[in-house]
Structure 1
Amino acid sequence: MKKTAVAVAVAVSALGMSQFAAADFVKDSKLSLDLRNYYFAQDTDEFNGAAGVEGGQWGQAFMLNYKSGFTEGAIGVGVDLFGAAAYKLADHGDQQTAMLFERYSADESAERLNKGGATLKARVGKTTGYLGALRPVTPVLVSNDARMLPQLFEGAMLTNQDVAGLTLTAAHLTKVSMRDEDQWTDNNDRFGGEFSLLGADYKVMDGLTAQYYFGQLHNTYKQHFAGLKYSAAVGAGKLGADLRYFNTSEDGDGDGRANPRNDNKLWSALVNYSIAGHTFGVGYQELSGDTGFGQLSNSNYLISERMIGNGLMANQDEKVTLVSYGFDFGTVGVKGLSASVLHQMGDGGVLERDHTETDVVVGYTIPEGQFKGLGARLMHGMYDGDGKTADIDQTRFIVNYSIPLM
């Protein structure tokens, strides 16, 4: 750890910063090695004359994360670095069905993934700017980290917290590195145009946060979002509520399309109650308009987006109801063990199919000792297409471990 800190200090000096100015840059720096072992398999049943398809992949990822502090002075500067490599350990079946490594054909997928990025950052008062590789988490754009390596975006982002309880966010993104690929791709080439967002999160009072965001995939769609998040102690337990509303419309001429691909309104409500280790949840989502829900780069913020598919339950005029139950075994003496089940039902909207998805998750994280934080999750999802589309079974087994290096 001392050698690492010295190396960082030397690098800072090489950039021309004085030892005094670089003090907080080094002191507040954090470096970690994140390990992820991942098995993914999916089985799509035979449907309407098409043969069933089954395939899977198993891999190991190494992710090095460095986050510096800020130099002292009126304008503090810093840098964040990310470097990762993932290696395929085994595969089987149709590789177009497996989703950890880039797929070239039914018989071939990438043997490894390499991904990295640097982010320059500067802070003035309570305003912080970022330039480079970004992982935004906002209602209109969420960096997806559900595979071997995280999805990265390239661009600029600004946050401001000058007003108590209020966080303002603005960003402009030009490129994306997908979760199963290692190259950078211009948004314009694959997903429309460049993406811009502007938003505000305001803490109205303890337990209540109001949100408004605007997102624009240039020449493709523009989207308004409003939301409320609420949590409070109720009786012996805790109540949580999450309300979301999206209004999406076509932007520009939509690349000259005769019919819009983005013209809809979506609202949802998700309520949960936790007591004595039990968590009960119920949710509802409704979409109206002339199209299904649009999104950028497999990255959205819908309560219906769970294990299987991408937008399977966000079709034109679709209504979705979900129920969930989870239990924390720590309340009965088994710390670190948890389990949950979720079942959601969609009416398919204009597609007229009563499809369902059921997801079961069991997880365990070592709570103490030398390997504290080592966690494993077994996930199994089952999608029933109501005889109008193929049924899908999906299994994931994931082991994560983060090693702090400084």
Structure 2
Amino acid sequence: MRLFNSSALALAIGVATSTAHADPQSQAYLPLTVAAQSAQAQAKGFVDGQSLSGTTRNWYARERATRAPLWRYYKSDGTRHPTHTRENWVQGTILNYTSGFTQGTVGFAVEAAGYNAIALQQDREAIAGPNNRTLTHSDGDAIGQWSKLGLGNVKARISNTTLTLGRQAVDTPMIAFIGNRALPSSFQGAFLHSAEFDNLTFDLGTFDRVSPRTEQSLSKFRSEYGAAGVETDRASTVGINYQPLKSLTTSLYATKVEDFWNQYYFGANHLFGDSAVLSLSTGLNYYKTVDAGSRKMGDIDNDTYSLSLGLTHQAHTLTAAWQQVNGNEYFDYLHETNGIYLANSLLSDFNGPNEKSLQLSYVLNMAYYGVPGLKFNLYNARGWGIDGTHYRGSAYDVQGLDGETHYEWGIGTSYAVQSGPLKDTSIRATYTTHRASKAQGDGSLNEFRLVTTIPFNIL
């Protein structure tokens, strides 16, 4: 759902015209330089630097299975029944307090955020719970309103290096909060972020629990695609982000998920040319995953990558993205994270064993036509060659996948308010269709989603 990786090199071809006054993206080398300013030296103090802000999000989704029913719901007698439709509608609100850092060589600060959700759709049959969209009791009855401490941490800072202890939001290629529901996930642990250089940052973190999007309690980590339901107590990550050129950003990370796997990531993004004439953006993401420790997820040896090429001319961007899984199991990541920076991670992740996929997408940015903040997008993605017949473990249910295929297309529009009291308010509507062969795991369905997010400031 996001960025991308391994040992790679991006090449681009630029186009120029003698009549256009283009200002192409600079390809200049950026020397490694120490940051000119210290964030801690500019600390305003615990009270003077404090803020109280938040967001409220109205999240609605309606799905319909077009072949076999994909969900089940509980009747009042306790029996479960299949259904072709699922509808979830939730209002999620976050109230976030952040203190300023105390002054001095070492600064201290605190952060606390209360999360609240209101189920606007509470019909058992419509919700088809339990699921990760609306919080329900075990019998499928919706919990009308619930709250939790989404964030709660203490920070210590020296210069431009900050250590955060407690429940927090983290965004790295393998441990990242996921915000595609009414409320986001968060993680409990320790995280160090260092930005002592202008074009290089360093991350180091370890976490023992995740706070899921639609749960009040903390949970142990588990994998997104594993069939055995096994859990682990710790996930740790280390990485650097480096910008060697004005046009090129890179990331290199390693993550150890205790007794699951070791995972390595390389990502690079490059921009060439001038979008007023023609620019080319290149994105590479690569993941290497191998089993580790007591191997609760069985034998894993997986190489997965995506490569995207995007051409932009003024308001128009056309992108092609190739993705390939080399391994007899799913490319897997941790549940309740956005730890899949692959170009073709859409409604489906296109991450089946040995799967190849191609996506074509088009984005129209209406800012060029005098309507800043308004965008339209259209895409089509196809996956084929899914083959799990060579898998010999028991952690993934893939041995019945033999030549499976699927495709997905979607259309969407979004608008972000540019000024006034509702500045940065966003609304996004999407309609997605996914069609799958019989054994492919995502099924055949249509989904309409409408999400409105309103930020607000109190202090």
Per the alignment, residue 110 of structure 1 pairs with: 143
8 Å Cα contact 1:356-1:384 kept in structure 2: yes
Equivalent residue for 1:336, pick from 373, 381, 384? 373
Per the alignment, residue 274 of structure 2 pairs with: 234
**Secondary structure at the residue paired with 1:137?**
coil
Whole-angstrom distance in 2 between the partners of 1:273 and 1:67: 40
Q: Closer, same or farther in 2 for the Cα pair 1:339/1:140, shift >3 Å? A: same
| 1:347-370 deviation per Cα after TM superposition (whole angstroms, max 9, x unaligned) | 052031220111211112222233
Residue correspondence of structure 1 range 172-211 to structure 2 within 5 A: 172-187=206-221, 191-211=231-251
- The answer to which of 338-347 and 296-305 deviates more is 296-305
**Secondary structure at the residue paired with 2:367?**
helix
8 Å Cα contact 1:79-1:121 kept in structure 2: yes
Whole-angstrom distance in 2 between the partners of 1:335 and 1:213: 35
Per the alignment, residue 54 of structure 2 pairs with: 33
Does residue 114 of structure 2 align to residue 61 of structure 1?
no
Does residue 404 of structure 2 align to residue 373 of structure 1?
no
Whole-angstrom distance in 1 between the partners of 2:447 and 2:246: 39
Equivalent residue for 2:184, pick from 150, 155, 172? 150
- Please state how far the C-alpha of 1:48 moved relative to its aligned partner: 9.3
**TM-score calculated relative to the size of structure 1:** 0.87
- Aligned AA (1:246): Y
Q: Closer, same or farther in 2 for the Cα pair 1:107/1:97, shift >3 Å? A: closer
- The answer to which of 241-250 and 48-57 deviates more is 48-57
Whole-angstrom distance in 2 between the partners of 1:36 and 1:48: 29
**Secondary structure at the residue paired with 1:330?**
helix
| 1:339-391 deviation per Cα after TM superposition (whole angstroms, max 9, x unaligned) | 10121110052031220111211112222233222221111111010344531
| 1:291-326 deviation per Cα after TM superposition (whole angstroms, max 9, x unaligned) | 1111111422222221x24x4x10111111111101
Whole-angstrom distance in 2 between the partners of 1:164 and 1:319: 38
8 Å Cα contact 1:341-1:359 kept in structure 2: yes
Q: Closer, same or farther in 2 for the Cα pair 1:91/1:238, shift >3 Å? A: farther
Whole-angstrom distance in 2 between the partners of 1:67 and 1:398: 26
- Please state how far the C-alpha of 1:94 moved relative to its aligned partner: 4.7
- Aligned AA (2:418): P
8 Å Cα contact 2:68-2:84 kept in structure 1: no
Whole-angstrom distance in 2 between the partners of 1:34 and 1:395: 23
8 Å Cα contact 1:95-1:108 kept in structure 2: no
- Please state how far the C-alpha of 1:329 moved relative to its aligned partner: 1.7
- The answer to which of 350-359 and 96-105 deviates more is 96-105
Q: Closer, same or farther in 2 for the Cα pair 1:190/1:153, shift >3 Å? A: farther
Residue correspondence of structure 1 range 70-85 to structure 2 within 5 A: 70-85=101-116
Whole-angstrom distance in 2 between the partners of 1:141 and 1:271: 26
Residue correspondence of structure 1 range 284-299 to structure 2 within 5 A: 284-299=322-337
- The answer to which of 215-224 and 335-344 deviates more is 335-344
Residue correspondence of structure 1 range 325-404 to structure 2 within 5 A: 325-350=362-387, 351=401, 352-389=403-440, 390-404=443-457
- The answer to which of 85-94 and 263-272 deviates more is 85-94
| 1:53-109 deviation per Cα after TM superposition (whole angstroms, max 9, x unaligned) | 211121212211222221111101111111110101124525238642124467423
8 Å Cα contact 2:306-2:343 kept in structure 1: yes
8 Å Cα contact 1:101-1:111 kept in structure 2: no
Per the alignment, residue 14 of structure 1 pairs with: none
8 Å Cα contact 1:173-1:194 kept in structure 2: yes
Equivalent residue for 1:249, pick from 290, 299, 311? 290
Whole-angstrom distance in 2 between the partners of 1:243 and 1:186: 31
| 1:147-167 deviation per Cα after TM superposition (whole angstroms, max 9, x unaligned) | 011101100000122344211
Richer in helix (by share) = 1
- Aligned AA (1:294): D
- Aligned AA (2:292): D
| 1:2-26 deviation per Cα after TM superposition (whole angstroms, max 9, x unaligned) | xxxxxxxxxxxxxxxxxxx984333
Q: Kindly, what percent of the aligned residue pairs are identical? A: 23
- Please state how far the C-alpha of 1:145 moved relative to its aligned partner: 0.5
Whole-angstrom distance in 2 between the partners of 1:150 and 1:71: 29
Per the alignment, residue 196 of structure 2 pairs with: 162
Whole-angstrom distance in 2 between the partners of 1:207 and 1:337: 26
8 Å Cα contact 2:87-2:127 kept in structure 1: yes
Does residue 356 of structure 2 align to residue 319 of structure 1?
yes
8 Å Cα contact 1:56-1:98 kept in structure 2: no
Residue correspondence of structure 1 range 269-284 to structure 2 within 5 A: 269-284=307-322
Richer in strand (by share) = 1
Q: Which has the higher contact order (CA 8 A, sep 6+)?
A: 2
Does residue 119 of structure 2 align to residue 88 of structure 1?
yes
- Please state how far the C-alpha of 1:43 moved relative to its aligned partner: 1.6
Per the alignment, residue 302 of structure 2 pairs with: 264
Does residue 85 of structure 2 align to residue 47 of structure 1?
no
Q: Closer, same or farther in 2 for the Cα pair 1:303/1:49, shift >3 Å? A: closer
Q: RMSD of the TM alignment (CA)?
A: 2.4
**Secondary structure at the residue paired with 2:241?**
strand
Number of aligned residue pairs: 380
8 Å Cα contact 1:191-1:296 kept in structure 2: no
Unaligned runs of 5+ in 1: 1-20
- Aligned AA (1:327): L
**TM-score calculated relative to the size of structure 2:** 0.77
Per the alignment, residue 125 of structure 1 pairs with: 159
Unaligned runs of 5+ in 2: 1-41, 72-81, 223-228, 388-400
- Aligned AA (2:303): K
Whole-angstrom distance in 2 between the partners of 1:97 and 1:54: 14
Q: Closer, same or farther in 2 for the Cα pair 1:27/1:273, shift >3 Å? A: farther
Q: Closer, same or farther in 2 for the Cα pair 1:153/1:190, shift >3 Å? A: farther
- Please state how far the C-alpha of 1:229 moved relative to its aligned partner: 1.5
